[in-house]
Amino acid sequence: MFKKFLPKDVQKYLLMSKRQRAHEIQLTIWFMPFLYICLSLLLVACTLFLDLKLELSQYVPKLFSMNASVTRTLVSTLIGGVLTLSAFTLNSLLVVLTTFSGQFSPRMLLNFISDKKTQHALGIFNGSFVFVLFIFLFIGSSKKEMFTAAPVLTVIVAFIAAITFIFFINHASTWMQVHNITYNMKKVSEVMINQTLKKDLECHRTKDDHPRFELDESKCLNVKAKASGYVQLIDFHSMIEKAREDGIIVRLHFKIGDFVLCGNDLICLYGADEEKVDQEKYLALIEIGHKETEIQDLQMGMHKLAEVAIKSLGNDDPKTASNTIHQITDLMLTINHHLSFSPYLIDDDDDVRVILEIEDFDYYLYRGFGYVRHYARGNHLIITDIVKALSRLSETLPRERHQCLWDFAANTIDHIEEAVIYELDKTFLLNELKILAKITGHTDEYQHIHQKFYPDANRNV
């Protein structure tokens, strides 16, 4: 009943799951300032209690006490100072957000806003202004002649706001540096792998990619989506337990981050009795919203890095593209080390209960480098960096990954026009491809590619 009187922007948080709510609140810009404002009101109450109730000025040296007129002048002056700092901070924030959106990717705005340093800085400015404002309000109507806590704490709060302003400017300028942007984005994806995917999926995955069982398609109960949107979050633990109770197998028709339409087949329940199985409970374990989220969607992190590289290519900034390729390469290494790619999730009795859409190493390789490769087109320097990144990956990844690395590199080289590539570009590109061919064991295929670029190399003249 109480929910009906809340604003719609607040009601949407109450409809989310606990995990989704925590993620959304972290991405908002108002939550941390709200906490600081509440803290400042508590500090105002303590300050007024010390000055008006306990009369602290009687127990401290006169050096720390001020008469009412001086205190009012001091507080009124600091109100304007703190407000000015807040205005400059807001202006700097808007500049940063505009720069991010125009030069890099609009999806990066959430990374800067959700950064704890950014949120704490905004919270301190809002809390400081509210504190000084309420102190001025109450001491202005007070008949007390001497104050101690009010002027001292007001000066301290203003000093903290001034230091925070310097800190925020330094934080914004540091965060905007390209190497920090790409590194921070990669770290966000790695944290998601270690804290989300390993916790939600890896503990349930089978070691065998091909369990020996057959699904009876005649006993498949298709459950359709009730709304259109992106698949944001799936409670795999509860889904496995629910499937175990019902004695069925759940197959997902979509991956995390995919867009579904109302009426699309969302999941399939194998061995389910339509009258006995509660389909709504399975649908309740899948959250569908109007936007993509990074809680379980690793490919969104890959997209962000790829977009930075693509934007930099459009802005004639190849160095940024190269730096982004390096971060994608490091993220691919983390993905291979921590994800097993098995589509089968098992319960405590080692029985398969959930079957996922296949997301193998090739899938993430394409999501990371495929988009960059497409937009690089005739930029042979960037293509060379991609091949070089693949050769570095081949040195660290196990042999079963070598084939997909070579196939991706060879397919990339196939679409290069030999007539428009400079001689040195050709030399460096083939040198990196030769290294990859030696590591992956495709030297014969490399010779065919080399012959394509130098058709007269072995011809007697």
Cα–Cα distance, 269 to 222 (Å, whole number): 6
Residue 261: pLDDT band (50, 70, 90) is: very high
Q: Tell me: the pLDDT tens digits for 106-125? A: 666 677 777 888 889 889 98
pLDDT digits (tens, 9 = 90+) for 19-28: 666 666 666 7
Those residues whose C-beta lies under 8 Å from the C-beta of residue 335, and which sit 6 or more positions away, are 193, 298, 361, 364
Which of 56-60, 97-101, 317-321, 373-377 bottoms out in mean pLDDT, i.e. has the lowest? 97-101
Distance between CA atoms of 304 and 104, rounded to whole angstroms?
9
Q: Which residue has the higher pLDDT, 309 or 188?
A: 309
| Domain end marker among 314, 341, 373 | 373
Which of 133, 152, 176 delimits the end of a domain?
176
What is the rounded distance in angstroms from the CA atom of residue 283 to the CA atom of residue 260?
Answer: 13
pLDDT value for 7: 59
Query: How many domains, in total, are found in the chain?
Result: 3
Confidence class for position 406, pLDDT limits 50, 70, 90? very high
Q: Which residues contact 151 (CB under 8 A, 6 or more apart)?
A: 66, 70, 71, 74, 75
Place of tokens 């693509």: 310
| Alpha carbons 201 and 204: distance in angstroms, whole number | 5
Query: Are 244 and 134 within one domain?
Result: no
Range of the domain at 198: 178-373
pLDDT of residue 405: 95
Residues 188 and 168 placed together within one structural domain of the fold: no
Give yes or no for residue 14 having a pLDDT over 70. no
247 vs 16, 60, 125, 353, CA distance in Å?
29, 74, 56, 8
* Same-domain check for residues 170 and 195: no
Same domain, 126 and 228: no
Distance between CA atoms of residues 162 and 82, nearest Å: 8
Average pLDDT of the residues of the chain: 84
Same domain, 90 and 44: yes
How far is 15 from 361, CA to CA, in rounded Å?
35
pLDDT over 90 percentage in the chain: 30
**174 pLDDT above the threshold of 90:** no
Q: What does the pLDDT read at residue 42?
A: 95
- Which tens digits make up the pLDDT trace of 234-254? 889 999 999 999 889 999 999
Q: Same domain, yes or no, for 338 and 398? A: no
| Token couple for 125 | 């400015």
Short-list 327, 299, 292, CA closest to 181: 327
User: What's phi and psi for 66, nearest 5 deg?
Assistant: -135, 150
Could you tell me which residues are beta bridge partners of residue 66?
147
Q: Are residues 326 and 434 in the same domain?
A: no
Per-residue pLDDT, averaged over 353-365, amounts to 88
Least confidently predicted of 22-31, 52-61, 199-208, 360-369? 22-31
Q: Are residues 141 and 264 in the same domain?
A: no
Three-state helix/strand/coil letters over the chain: CHHHHCCHHHHHHHCCCHHHHHHHHHCCCCHHHHHHHHHHHHHHHHHHHHHHHCCHHHCCCHHHCEEHHHHHHHHHHHHHHHHHHHHHHHHHHHHHHHHHHHHHCHHHHHHHHHCHHHHHHHHHHHHHHHHHHHHHHHHHCCCCCEECHHHHHHHHHHHHHHHHHHHHHHHHHHHCCHHHHHHHHHHHHHHHHHHHHHHHHHCCECCCCCCCCCCCHHHEEEEECCCCEEEEEECHHHHHHHHHHHCCEEEECCCCCCEECCCCEEEEEECCCCCCCCHHHHHHCEEEECCCCCCCCHHHHHHHHHHHHHHHHHCCCHHHHHHHHHHHHHHHHHHHHHCCCCCEEECCCCCEEEECCCCCHHHHHHHHHHHHHHHHCCCHHHHHHHHHHHHHHHHHCCHHHHHHHHHHHHHHHHCCCHHHCCHHHHHHHHHHHHHHHHHHCCHHHHHHHHHHHCCCCCCCC
Distance CA 15, CA 8 (A): 11
Q: Are residues 81 and 222 in the same domain?
A: no
| pLDDT(276) > 50 | yes
| Predicted pLDDT at 250 | 92
Cβ count near 287 (within 10 Å): 20
User: Mean pLDDT, to the nearest integer, of 164-179?
Assistant: 84
Model pTM score: 0.80
pLDDT in tens, 325-344: 999 999 999 988 888 888 88
- What is the spatial distance between Cα 267 and Cα 285, in angstroms, rounded to a whole number? 11
Tokens (6 digits) for 214: 């057959």
Residues 275 and 400 in one domain: no
Residue showing tokens 């990339």: 412
Residues 165 and 52 in one domain: yes
Domain boundary residue, one of 333, 351, 373: 373
pLDDT at 460: 45
pLDDT tier at 35, thresholds 50, 70, 90: very high
Q: Which residues contact 409 (CB under 8 A, 6 or more apart)?
A: 386, 387, 390, 391, 433, 436
Contact 161, 82 (CB under 8 A): yes
The Cα–Cα gap between 94 and 226 comes to 38
pLDDT band at 461 (very low <50, low <70, confident <90, very high): very low
Segment 359-378 mean pLDDT: 88
In a shared domain, residues 431 and 446 = yes
